[in-house]
Structure 1
Amino acid sequence: MTIEKVQQDIIEEFSVYEDWMDKYSYLIELGNELADLPPEEKNDQNLIKGCQSRVWLVAEKKDGKIYFRGESDAVIVKGLVALLLRVVSGRKPKEIIENELHFIDDLGLKQHLSPTRSNGLLAMVKQIRLYAVAYDRMEKEGGTQNG
């Protein structure tokens, strides 16, 4: 399934909720389904800078694809992490680099989040892209590192 298809699926899922309180509830539900990171991965190296809440993001490259795991100490933000990971985890670096994550705007998430949460969401997207660019560069330079 392409990144575009996953984004369209997410947009459709959210379209059944007319009220933003229901959309927030769904986000919280998605966050609750996200597996917790082990305590040793909740460190400064994995902490996303620019988020009001604490958000940790871990990336591992296996078989040419990047697998992301993440967590947040805030319930709505954890739901945002779950959505992002659903779209980008298990993708080749080039797919992440070449695809715009438009579902954030299409859902109206930025407009319905506080400015600090919105900035945090953008910081998460930026970090995901940085991982993709770094892994893509390693591939092009012949690097065989896995993480």
Structure 2
Amino acid sequence: MIESAKATRVAAVLTAAAAVAVALGLRALLSGDVTSTGALEQNSGTALYASAVYAAVVFLRPAARPLTAGAWALGWCWAVELAQLTPVPRTLSGQSILLRLIFGNAFDWTDVCWYPVGIVPLVLAHHALRRTRTGPGDQET
């Protein structure tokens, strides 16, 4: 179990790093600016942000079932998006580029729809990996 948790955490870190790298890479390639607001940059960044959040949930709770981790990740993403209806994220975002990438600065219904796009594929992949690791007839814990 300890080895499994360690491997899961390593995979979560690699997944989060890949999501962030792809998001920033797309922005740099498409516009030359990581703060670009183009539609492709914004939507892909939103989905990849959600992927990184999913990876963070799995890192913190490696034994979490994929649907549970997905629900927590989606809940976090939607909570951050709803918080953007207040001035708090905008204030935090003004302090650094990192905080802007984490908290954003303006509510957008489009983002609400793009979060599942980043989470669902990881839930499915996580479920498939757990099923492969435990075997089809074994019970998951």
TM-score scaled by structure 2?
0.41
More helix by share: 2
More strand by share: 1
Question: Which is greater in Rg?
Answer: 2
TM-score scaled by structure 1?
0.39
